A and B are shown apart, each in its own frame.
Chain A
Amino acid sequence: MSQRGREALPQAFFVPTETHALPAGQRLCLFHPPVGLPRGRVLYLHPFAEELNTTRRVVAQQARALAAAGYAVLQIDMTGCGDSTGDFADATWTAWLEDARLAHRWLSQSASGPLWLWGMRSGALLATDLLDRLSEPANLLLWQPAVAGKQVLQQFARLHAANQWLSAGKADEESPTRRLAQGVPVDIAGYTIHPELAAGLVETRLKPPTAGLAGTLIWMEIARQVDAELSPASEREILAWQQAGWHTRAEAVVAPPFWQTVSTEDAPALIQATLAAMAASAPRPDTARLT
């Protein structure tokens, strides 16, 4: 490998947890140091369950491209995910929010500049929940954002149903979402969902923060065909952010739905569009004004 290629690799390390409310242990982090003039900090928040694995490749490519453009990028594996301590069964929404805060503290001690919270699918929900709890303003970069945690849970529960259909068995038991609502952990596609995680997800929804400065929102929706338009559902969501004073930039970008399948599909158009949108997002959160 060339010297240049080696420099592009992120630093991998564990960060110990600080609070006692969490499953104690350590969280795996990947840090991509900025190259050249620092442009800002980017904290990446990953999607739910198997989607963490399916999205790793494209996310890694984007993180490296952002670092090369001058951004300090930090990725963290949440409680019970990837190489961090704990089983998925231990994970709760509160624990993930604490993990996100832990990562934010680490990033802020290691780099400076405007803050971007980058969320993929359910990571977008975590990003907006985190923003509500931060004492500094931030911009948002949302990739194919989930707009409601309830939907994320419902889609995941459908995976359970699909497995039953394929095994030609009839669904003989109560639905996973109903059992979760009763406080019973449920196994779906190799992941044990804690009822608290389900409850936290169901309560969360994408929405502009009620306080703090409005920043820039970049919304990237994946489309299958060229000259596709944003879905009406996305348009509605974005309008709410504009009404809250946010500067928005939304695009439908042609890319494969890489979060849905384990494959080696690339999404070069998405990476380029993201870089361009961030470079063009002039209003920094510290200068943006609420209208």
Chain B
Amino acid sequence: MNVYEQVLRVLDSALNLQGRGATFDAATPLLGALPELDSMAVLALITELESHFGITFNDDDLHAEVFATVGSLNALVQQQLDRQAT
């Protein structure tokens, strides 16, 4: 499973989307568009991404824009993975 597919899977599980996440694409809007994504859910999503990928986000990298779409969320994870690989 590539990073993008794993991000979708974590998203689906953290927000309890019951498989709806599989129908999302990179342009699917998240924050403000997905009713499940309230502040507790945002926190759960961050925590699950961190524990799933074994990464720790820098708080300066976390802002509303990165939760805008599936694509921007994926980019956040990819950036952190690249950073920790070096």
User: Which A residues contact B (CB, under 8 angstroms)?
Assistant: 50, 154-155, 157-159, 161-166, 168, 170-171, 175, 189, 224, 231-233, 257, 260-262
Q: Which residue of A lies closest to B63 (CB)?
A: A165
A261 to chain B, nearest CB (A): 6
Q: Given A168-B32, A224-B13, A231-B51, do A163 and B39 touch, yes or no (CB 8 Å)?
A: yes
Q: Given A155-B47, A232-B54, do A166 and B59 touch, yes or no (CB 8 Å)?
A: no
Q: Which residue of B lies closest to A166 (CB)?
A: B39
Residues of A within 8 A of B81 (CB): none
B29-44 with Cβ < 8 A to chain A = 31-32, 38-44
Inter-chain contact B43/A260, CB cutoff 8 Å = yes
**Complex: A50 Cα to B13 Cα, angstroms:** 21
B8-55 with Cβ < 8 A to chain A = 13, 31-32, 38-44, 46-48, 51, 54
Inter-chain contact A175/B59, CB cutoff 8 Å = yes
15 A-B contacts (beta carbon < 8 Å): A50-B40, A155-B46, A158-B42, A159-B40, A159-B43, A161-B62, A165-B31, A166-B39, A166-B42, A168-B64, A224-B13, A260-B40, A260-B44, A261-B40, A262-B40
Inter-chain contact B44/A154, CB cutoff 8 Å = no
Between A154, A157, A168, A257, the greatest number of chain B beta carbons within 10 A of the residue's beta carbon is seen for A257
**Complex: A157 Cα to B44 Cα, angstroms:** 13
**Complex: A232 Cα to B48 Cα, angstroms:** 14
Q: Which residue of A lies closest to B64 (CB)?
A: A165
**Complex: A163 Cα to B39 Cα, angstroms:** 5
Residues of A within 8 A of B41 (CB): 261
Inter-chain contact B42/A165, CB cutoff 8 Å = yes
B83 to chain A, nearest CB (A): 18
B72 to chain A, nearest CB (A): 12
Q: Which residue of A lies closest to B46 (CB)?
A: A158
Inter-chain contact A165/B67, CB cutoff 8 Å = yes
**Complex: A164 Cα to B32 Cα, angstroms:** 12
Residues of A within 8 A of B51 (CB): 231, 233
**Complex: A161 Cα to B62 Cα, angstroms:** 9
Inter-chain contact A189/B44, CB cutoff 8 Å = no
